[in-house]
Amino acid sequence: MFEVIVVGGGHAGCEAAAALARMGLATLMITIDLDRIGEMSCNPAVGGIGKGHLTREIDALGGIQARVTGRAGIQFRMLNRGKGPAVQAPRVQADRELFRIEMQRELGTLESLHLYQGMVAELLVSGGDVTGVRTEDGNQFGARAVVLATGTFLDGLIHIGRHTRPAGRAGDPPSNQLARQMRELGFESGRFKTGTPPRIDGRSVDFSRFEPQHSDPERASISFWEEPRPPGTRPCWVGHTRTRTHEIVLDHEADSPLYSGQIEARGPRYCPSIEDKVIRFPQNPRHQVFLEPEGIHTTELYVNGLSTSMPIGVQLSMLQSVDGLGQARMTKPGYAIEYDYYPPHQLRASLATRLLPSLFLAGQINGTTGYEEAAAQGLVAGINAARQLQGQPPLLLSRAESYIGLLIDDLVTRGTDEPYRMFTSRSEYRLSLRQDNADLRLAGYGHSVGLLPSDLYDRTQRKLERIGEIKACLTDTLLTAEQVNPVLEAWESPAVDQPVRALKILKRPQVPCSAWLEALSAFGHEFNQESFVQVWVECKYDGYLAREERKRLELRRMEGARLPDGIEYAELMTVSLEGREKLDRVRPVNLAQAARIPGLRVSDLGALVIEIARRRSA
């Protein structure tokens, strides 16, 4: 008997299993193929805007995705370096095989984690809760909680042109029995689809037609705790489709499962197939194509931007129509896959299902897309399954303090009618929720739940102390006009004629952080760069940050108005019928969450406030 079983060895499953084992629970991971634990089903890259924020937060809490990525990375970039700090984010191109190896190595260090290769066919359910699982080979495993992280496998169906075949992803079988049982148990399910582009042999590419995109020289670490240990670096390559590519797509529109009616499920709007891009945006004469290395020891390239489910012959013609790919040899065709997901209003914010209190769902199964979104949920599901068994309240992160909280709140409160992907624009607090301060925001939680070791947590405390010291020093330091004017002039910022407080002059919009760090060092103030950045951002954006803080306080106030768990919404006759149905579907835990339910009328919210007050005073 295990304490917890994690079904699935993808990004959600790995993160859940690692959290559980590190929190001391006897954990069993069951997955279809042990060799494919940590498989990157789509492009071998982690991070990007919004997604990179999630990875940094996972890392800050003590999760494993960022560290594994740093060990397998072959191209490291900080995106949007020239833009504001809220939208800068790390992105790492990984060696696909090495990522898997490093993930498996990381899991192999965990004594409480056991592995079993098998296909879970059924959840064991007794007394209204899950009690274990049965695998297709007839083995049964008991557990006090189960985390389901089965990705795109439930009733998965691959499409390439008119050809379809049941599969979980290329090379893996689908998980059909489990999908059937979930429906029988009463879970509401939906269908989504996603797709992947063809891969090509790099030796058949004319790279002179592409722009190289190299690693940043400083290889910014995606983890707060570990420097990257890349096996080497490789560039990505940027090129474009041509008119001919678009003509091929249009000529074969009827062969595309997306447009022939063969695929009905919704796909990720922000990761469109080339068919979608050409047909929906006919005004664009060309689209970007990124050739991304699959690894350090392979010549295979991932053709990002050319996701497609066209017949194989059409895929090859499309590829060869791209400038520089005239002789391209395809190594794997692209495909689309349809799969079951469970609309996430069926979950509590802990990621436990309402139907079976010890069953947790994490990852693509909840309607999200992406490794980072999956890992974030896996981490939360793992932590909360552990806390449930430890008799502790769940870890519920607020959307005001983290992208992870935002992700889960959006899912359980608003649901999603397309595969959900994280963007910084989803956050009302994006200047405070930066990738550079995720450790300061979240390490305390990671440490208190027993995931982040004390020595790492202490590092964030030292960082906080340094930030305080820098602020104090800059508040006290008066800089003369002779000292600051050369810096201001170099960045075309108006000169000063009086001495100025160092903390005040940091606000100058034109002058970058690095210029002040260098100048202050020349004036005898050596500051730790990581800590100085925090002071600079706080100083430069203090007005905006103060506004976010006011919003955060208002949210906290509304979050404090808790709604009783067993409230019978059907009986609240002062709330409209539609409002009662919406409230019953989401079952918000507090007024703030109720206010975010899409379409809930202000009058219904008002009636709810009165009802809570009436019950309290009764």
Binding site for ligand FAD (CB under 6 A): 7-13, 30-33, 41-42, 119-120, 149-153, 168-169, 172, 175, 178, 194-196, 271, 337, 363-364, 369-371, 374
Q: Is the dihedral of CA 406, 410, 411, 413 positive or negative?
A: positive
Query: In the bound complex, what is the minimum distance in angstroms from residue 250's beta carbon to ligand FAD?
Result: 23
Ramachandran angles phi, psi of 494, nearest 5°: -55, 140
Query: In the bound complex, what is the minimum distance in angstroms from residue 13's beta carbon to ligand FAD?
Result: 5
Question: Of the two residues 378 and 588, which places its CB atom closer to ligand FAD in the complex?
Answer: 378
Which amino acid is it at 109? T
Whether the CB-CB separation of 91 and 47 falls below 8 Å is answered with yes
Whether the CB-CB separation of 549 and 542 falls below 8 Å is answered with no
- The token pair at 217 is 């020289």
Instruction: Give bridge partners of residue 479 from the DSSP assignment.
Output: 500
Query: In the bound complex, what is the minimum distance in angstroms from residue 227's beta carbon to ligand FAD?
Result: 26
Query: In the bound complex, what is the minimum distance in angstroms from residue 583's beta carbon to ligand FAD?
Result: 29
Environment class of 261 (CB within 10 Å of its CB; exposed 0-12, middle 13-18, buried 19+): exposed
**Under DSSP, is residue 510 helix (H, G, I), strand (E, B) or coil?**
coil
Biggest distance spanned by C-alpha atoms of the chain: 83
Question: Of the two residues 61 and 612, which places its CB atom closer to ligand FAD in the complex?
Answer: 61
- The token pair at 215 is 């690693």
Cα separation, 482 vs 590, whole angstroms = 56
Question: Of the two residues 192 and 536, which places its CB atom closer to ligand FAD in the complex?
Answer: 192
Whether the CB-CB separation of 70 and 229 falls below 8 Å is answered with yes
Query: In the bound complex, what is the minimum distance in angstroms from residue 492's beta carbon to ligand FAD?
Result: 40
Question: Of the two residues 65 and 477, which places its CB atom closer to ligand FAD in the complex?
Answer: 65
Question: Of the two residues 149 and 322, which places its CB atom closer to ligand FAD in the complex?
Answer: 149
Question: Among residues 512, 509, 477, 482, which one has the least CA distance to residue 495?
Answer: 482
Query: In the bound complex, what is the minimum distance in angstroms from residue 47's beta carbon to ligand FAD?
Result: 11
Question: Of the two residues 196 and 534, which places its CB atom closer to ligand FAD in the complex?
Answer: 196
Question: Of the two residues 157 and 506, which places its CB atom closer to ligand FAD in the complex?
Answer: 157
Ramachandran angles phi, psi of 524, nearest 5°: 95, 10
Query: In the bound complex, what is the minimum distance in angstroms from residue 232's beta carbon to ligand FAD?
Result: 25
Query: In the bound complex, what is the minimum distance in angstroms from residue 383's beta carbon to ligand FAD?
Result: 16
Question: Of the two residues 249 and 487, which places its CB atom closer to ligand FAD in the complex?
Answer: 249
Question: Of the two residues 175 and 320, which places its CB atom closer to ligand FAD in the complex?
Answer: 175
CA 305 to chain CA mean position, Å = 20
Whether the CB-CB separation of 605 and 578 falls below 8 Å is answered with no
Query: In the bound complex, what is the minimum distance in angstroms from residue 103's beta carbon to ligand FAD?
Result: 11
Cα separation, 464 vs 462, whole angstroms = 5
User: Which residues 6+ apart lie within 8 Å of 251 measured at CB?
Assistant: none
Question: Of the two residues 154 and 449, which places its CB atom closer to ligand FAD in the complex?
Answer: 154
CA 438 to chain CA mean position, Å = 14
Question: Among residues 239, 230, 246, which one has the least CA distance to residue 292?
Answer: 239
Question: Of the two residues 189 and 204, which places its CB atom closer to ligand FAD in the complex?
Answer: 189
Query: In the bound complex, what is the minimum distance in angstroms from residue 196's beta carbon to ligand FAD?
Result: 4
- The token pair at 484 is 């600051």
Query: In the bound complex, what is the minimum distance in angstroms from residue 610's beta carbon to ligand FAD?
Result: 42
Instruction: Quote the DSSP letter at residue 232.
Output: -
User: Which residues 6+ apart lie within 8 Å of 547 measured at CB?
Assistant: none
